Amino acid sequence: MNYYVLTLFPEMIENGMNTSIIGRAIAGGYLSLETVNIRDYSLSGNGRIDDYPYGGGAGMVMQAEPICRAYEDLVQRIGKKPRVVYLTPQGRVFDQQMAEKLAREEDLIFLCGHYEGVDERVLEEIVTDHVSIGDYVLTGGELPAMVMMDSIARMVPGVLSNQESGQYESFQDGLLEYPQYSRPEEWRGKQVPPVLLSGHHGNVDRWRRDQSLLRTLRNRPELLARAELDKKDRKYLQSLLDEEEAARDADGTGCVPGNGLTEEEKKFLTKLLAI
């Protein structure tokens, strides 16, 4: 995977990406990173690449020509026109499926905007993908670009030392990741779940799947609604409702919680399991 970043702050990208797992992957040749300083293509030759917006308004807008020059020079050097990702709150929200899709590309160009944005005409000319990392505004596209590059890189063969780490993490199967534990077995009175000490791989796998279902239900139910559930998954989710009802019946008042499901969670599960 070859990353190219059109930016006003190349040192920000380089410092952020040349560390930890991604830095080792770059050093090992699994990834490459090239930053292109848009200021080097300034029309005035003094590094200025912005101007006032037509129609008035606050702030400055990045000009089309310096960006286009930087892009055209890059394309000429690499001999092809890769996908160009423009980081913007107006784009499609980045997710794991998009990361997996983009990881199949050989080359990716990221365009990092700044100030009040970028002249629309150059976006129409060169950009293939408008992408957001969330419904909030940042000072520039550099941090979103690094977020995307980090996530995409995890799908590239050889980047992770243990390939399973990229296959069974949060969102990989549409669910949040299960809880993780390490030594010691007891820490400040809190025990590691016994099933993880049992050595029974089938039971461990089932426990992890169940915990992923429960965690997704509580934190991101919209993901659970879209997940592919098999018979064992549905049986576990039904057991959550059954335990809740059993606890209420045993108490006789209907006030004792079983496994701590909220009324909203119970309604969601009831509707989900009825499908």
Distance CA 205, CA 196 (A): 9
Do 13 and 137 lie in one domain? The reply is yes
The CATH number of the domain holding residue 260 is 1.10.1270.20
- DSSP for 155-199, please give it: TSTTSSSSTHHHHSSTTTTSSPPPP---S-SEETTEEPPGGGGS-
Do 147 and 220 lie in one domain? The reply is no
Beta-strand pair 50-51/186-187: unpaired
Strand partners, 36: 6
Chosen domain end from 134, 164, 194 = 164
Do 94 and 200 lie in one domain? The reply is no
Specify the pLDDT at position 164: 44
Do 124 and 253 lie in one domain? The reply is no
Do 43 and 157 lie in one domain? The reply is yes
Number of structural domains the chain divides into: 2
- pLDDT tens digits for 226-267? 999 999 999 999 999 999 888 877 765 555 555 689 999 999
Least confident of 165-179, 183-197, 206-220, 221-235: 165-179
pTM of the model: 0.86
- pLDDT tens digits for 107-151? 999 999 998 899 999 999 999 999 999 999 999 999 999 999 999
Q: Which of 40, 37, 1, 12 is nearest to 146 (CA)?
A: 12
Distance CA 10, CA 147 (A): 15
Chosen domain end from 103, 134, 164 = 164
Q: Residue 172's pLDDT band (boundaries 50, 70, 90)?
A: low
Q: Which of 204, 221, 205, 199 is nearest to 266 (CA)?
A: 221
Specify the pLDDT at position 255: 52
User: Does residue 91 have a pLDDT over 90?
Assistant: yes
Do 40 and 103 lie in one domain? The reply is yes
**Range with top average pLDDT, 2-6, 160-164, 173-177:** 2-6
User: DSSP 3-state assignment of 107?
Assistant: strand
- pLDDT tens digits for 152-168? 999 999 999 865 465 55
Give me the percent of the chain exceeding a pLDDT of 70. Answer: 93
Specify the pLDDT at position 154: 95
Do 133 and 263 lie in one domain? The reply is no
Q: Which of 46, 43, 35, 34 is nearest to 2 (CA)?
A: 34
Contact 156, 25 (CB under 8 A): yes
- DSSP for 213-238, please give it: HHHHHHH-HHHHHHS---HHHHHHHH
User: What domain range is 115 assigned to?
Assistant: 2-164
Contact 43, 65 (CB under 8 A): yes
Contact 4, 108 (CB under 8 A): yes
Do 129 and 211 lie in one domain? The reply is no
Specify the pLDDT at position 58: 86
Q: Torsions phi, psi of 219, nearest 5?
A: -110, -35
Q: DSSP letter at 118?
A: B
- pLDDT tens digits for 35-71? 999 999 999 888 999 999 999 988 999 999 999 999 9
Specify the pLDDT at position 188: 95
